[in-house]
Amino acid sequence: MWRQCGKCQHMIELSQGCIRIECRCGHEFCYQCGAEAGRCPHGHGPDPRGVRPLPMWLKILYWVIFLGLAILVIWYVK
């Protein structure tokens, strides 16, 4: 049985394991009903990885801040 990702429309097949699926685009959904993970009645439980990964925009923001501070430190030392 195949399911289509609701975000990028990529087709995904579940061969075994949990019905909580993460697509290659990062979207997590319930394989059984297609709803966004955590918003369906199938009780997937807590995220098995513990903490959820940061969204890409936040990673970029952290890098911009880090690089900005690094440039300031280098400029200050000179």
Contact assessment for residue 29 and residue 5, using Cβ atoms and an 8 Å cutoff: yes
Label the pairing between strands 11-13 and 20-22: unpaired
Q: Which bin fits 44, alpha (ψ -120 to 50), beta or left (φ > 0)?
A: alpha
∠ CA 68-59-76, nearest 5°, is 10
**Amino acid identity of 10?**
H
| Residue 18 annotated in active site | yes
Q: Which of 8, 18, 25, 33 is catalytic?
A: 18
Write out the catalytic residue numbers: 18
